[in-house]
Every structure is written in structure tokens, then in C-alpha cells.
Structure 1
Amino acid sequence: MPIPFILLLLLLSFLVWRRRSMAKYLVTCAFLLLFFLSSQLSVNTLVRPLESVYPINSTTITGPCFVMVLGSAHSDIQGATAVQSLSTVALARLTEGIRQLNLGQECQLIVSGWGGELTHISHAEMMANAAIELGVDKHRIIQFPLARDTLEEAQYLQSTLGQVSFRLVTSATHMPRAMTIFAAKGLYADAAPTDFIGRADFGWRLSADNLVASQRAIHEYIGRLWLWLKTLS
């Protein structure tokens, strides 16, 4: 993660302060990294290559219709509705999933995600409740409440659908890695990316949004490296 890594570089610079040349080098690296990851150049370099792999999908769905929305996060907010409890990423994915439902006939919505250790309700259940609040019939929703990551989501879907094709909804930065995982399981996914974060181009203006976008992209590149290493083992 960029911020902890930058802070680590600064901490190391203090620890080796007597070695002035090395300390200056670490401080310079930290500030250059912060500058790059907070700039539009980072978005253009790291984010947009991921988001450009699969275009927005508005194709009508024919035949058996399943829409799989990958999980993200939610919070237990006292008195809040399910929609209000979803993270920004989760809400973007769910709304796109509901849009995809309307592109087919009698589609079923598949939501997933476990609750973790800090919440009493699974993410799949929260997503299902939010979908119901947004008008989806509860009988059209399938839940995978035990799936902890994309690999497990693919495993649960494989045991449920088998070789049936489906529409896969997730964040645009995450879509290339997700498609690789689902293809490795022999599943036939049709990509429907959403939650695009590399849109605006403000030149060299630094922003926290760019830093967050860079962090998400780095997360994906590390995830793809981890998948590659697993195939070697």
C-alpha cells in the first residue's frame, strides 16, 4: 500500500540519519513516489491499462441468464438501510448488476462475500438486502455468504452453474484478474466492468483520488503476480 510504504521510507531515513547520503536518498524516493502516485500520470500509467481491457457491456443477454456481482465491503451502521451500508465500490457493482439483470429475461442475481470478523451479517446478505431495496425480487437472488475472495467466489459459482455462461460484474480495475481466475476454473464469463476510477484528466494536479486509484491498481498488479506465482508452484 503506497502510504504505509512511503512512511516506511521516511522512517528508515530517520534511522540512518547519520548516513546523510542514504537518508537523503530515502527521503527523495519517498516524496517522488508520493508525487507520482498522487498525479494523473500514475492513473494513466497504472489504472487505465487495467480499465481499458474490457469495455462497458450493454449487450442484451439471451438464453439462461445469471449475473454474478463480486463482493466488496459494507459497514454495520445503526439505523441505516442496506443500500446506505454498502461501500462506494459495492454500491457501484450492485447497481451495475441490476442494470445487467434488465438486459435479460428473468435473470438471477448472484451476490457473494463473507462477513469477516467485524460485522454480524455477511456481505452477500447485505448485498441481497440492498438489491431487494432497489426493486429486485428476493426469489431471483442467489447468495454465496462464505466466499472470502475472488478465488472462492469462482469455486462456489463453478459448483452452482457448472458450464453455464454468465455476466460477471466487478470493478474495471479488478476485471482482468477476475476474468483470469474464472477462466482458470473453466467458467464462461462475459465481462461487465463498472466503478471506473481513471476517468478525468487534470494534467499534473495532485489529488487524494489519484492516490486511492493508484493504490487499487497496485493491489491488482500484486494480485496478478501472486496468481502467476501460484501457477508455478
Structure 2
Amino acid sequence: ISLIIMPLSITILLLIFAIIFYRIKPKVSFIALIMATSLLTLSTLPPVSDAIMAPLEDNYAVFTRSKQPVDYIVILGGGHTTIDELPATGQLNSSSLSRLVEAVRIYRLHPEAQIITSGFSGGDISSNAEKVKQAAVLLGLPAHKIITENFPQDTEEEAQLIAPRVLKRNVVLVTSAYHMPRAMAYFEKYGVNAIAAPASPWVKNNHLTPWQYYLPSAKKLQQTSMAWHEILGRIVQWIKS
């Protein structure tokens, strides 16, 4: 359902609608065309995209160092594509890779911690948890300190399955910055008071605003889609609660 109601999908549906009704109801067709053009333009404008994404990412500060020893570093699942010719790091998608890099940074600060990777296969031949572990080993983390949770299919399942292992422990939770509020809420629901470690925010404050910032960008369309997907996820979370 979320794929169908993404900005680009809605734009395409409106354009198809405009073509179908071009001769039957020209006025309706014109309205659909204007709506499609407006939605696509707004979704690709950096100021608009940043305004939608920033509130999702500004809830937690960057992790520095815990005052107490860290027992677990939990890396939530992202995505990957198994291609044997590539190293494991090259098989991860951008969200998984950025979360792993943040976890590696935290592990350098707290080498006493164990690492938990999470995520199911999503149709691939290996789970995301296992692929992230392989990539982590390539980046120098010891394999014997990495635990994989290979079956959670979404954030709520990750919290539900990981919580029993980490209850009453000092836990650092690593996920994308925009996804952190929803992830923290799920882990709190199952009794885990984790320390947030947001990874790779989309919106990076820059006091310099060149004229390019106000032009449409395909990257910002992706950012808007990610923000919209996360907003839908939070709506579903609220309904479930």
C-alpha cells in the first residue's frame, strides 16, 4: 500500500488519469495534470523536502560516549542485494551501510559491547542480519561478538524479538535518523530503554544556500518519499497503540 501512495506513484497515476479523461472530460483531465505537476515539483524541491524530513530527524542527538559500559549495539535492518562478485559492504543498500558505519564508530568507543544485527532476507538468498555481519567483519569487527537476528520483518518485530535478550542492559540502538523516533517507541514498548544513535541524517544544516538549493532534485524526491514512508509508519504505529 505504501508503494502505491508514494509521491512518484501518485504522480504517475494522476498522469494516467489525465490521459484517459483527456477527450471525455478535458476539465477533469486538466485538473489531474495540474495536480500531478504540482506534486512532482513540490516533492523534488529541496526546501520542501527538507521541511518534511527535518522534524523526523531532529529528535535525538548524535551518540558520543556512554557514561556506563555498553552491553549491546543493536543495528536495525535495512536492505541488500547478494552479488557474489562484490564485497559484503558493496551489497548493502545505503541505509544498511550507513547504519553499519555508525555502529562501527560506536564499537570503537565501546569495544566491550556485543553487536546485534537484524533483518530478514526480503526475498534474497541471505538475511540482512547475516549480510551486515559479513560486512562488519570486513570492516574489522570480530565475528564472535556479532549476534544475528535473521527473522524480523519490520521494526516492531525487531523490538519484540531482540528485547528479551537486552532487557535491563545498557543498549545503543542504531538506525537511520529519520527512523529513530519510531524505533525507540517500539523498543520502549517492549521494555528496552535504549540510547539512540541516529545514523546519516538526510538534512544537513548548511548556512550556505546556493541557487541550486532551490531547483528540483531527484535526490530530494527520494528524500521526500522516505519521509512520507516514515510518516505512514508512524501513523500505523499510532493506530496499533
TM bucket (normalised to shorter chain) is over 0.9
Q: Say yes or no: does 1:80 pair with 2:83.
A: no
Q: Say yes or no: does 1:24 pair with 2:67.
A: no
Measured against aligned partners, the alpha-carbon deviations of 1:12-38 in whole angstroms (never above 9, x if no partner) come to: 112222212211111101111101000
SS in 1 for 2:147: strand
Greater Cα shift, 56-65 or 139-148: 56-65
Q: Which runs of 4+ in 1 moved over 4 A?
A: none
Q: Which residue of 2 aligns with 1:9?
A: 14
Q: Say yes or no: does 1:128 pair with 2:133.
A: yes
Q: Which residue of 2 aligns with 1:210?
A: 220
**Offset of residue 48 of structure 1:** 0.9
Q: Which residue of 1 aligns with 2:40?
A: 34
Measured against aligned partners, the alpha-carbon deviations of 1:131-154 in whole angstroms (never above 9, x if no partner) come to: 111111111111101111111110
Asked if the contact 1:165/1:187 (under 8 Å) is kept, the reply is no
SS in 1 for 2:74: strand
Q: Unaligned regions of 5+ residues in structure 1, if any?
A: none
Asked if the contact 2:69/2:170 (under 8 Å) is kept, the reply is no
Q: Unaligned regions of 5+ residues in structure 2, if any?
A: 1-5
Question: Which of 214, 217, 228 is equivalent to 2:238?
Answer: 228
Q: Percent identity?
A: 32
Greater Cα shift, 210-219 or 77-86: 77-86
1:47-86 aligned within 5 A: 47-60=53-66, 62-86=68-92
Q: Which residue of 2 aligns with 1:176?
A: 181
Q: Say yes or no: does 1:102 pair with 2:108.
A: yes
Measured against aligned partners, the alpha-carbon deviations of 1:32-54 in whole angstroms (never above 9, x if no partner) come to: 11010000122222111111111
Q: CA RMSD in A?
A: 1.4
What TM-score do the two structures reach when normalised by structure 2?
Answer: 0.91
* Distance in 2, Cα, partners of 1:26 & 1:143: 48
* Distance in 2, Cα, partners of 1:70 & 1:87: 13
Asked if the contact 1:111/1:141 (under 8 Å) is kept, the reply is yes
Asked if the contact 1:61/1:104 (under 8 Å) is kept, the reply is no
Amino acid of the residue matched to residue 238 of structure 2? Answer: W
Do the aligned partners of residues 10 and 176 (structure 1) sit closer, same or farther apart at CA in structure 2, a change above 3 Å counting? same
How many pairs were matched up? 230
Asked if the contact 2:68/2:170 (under 8 Å) is kept, the reply is no
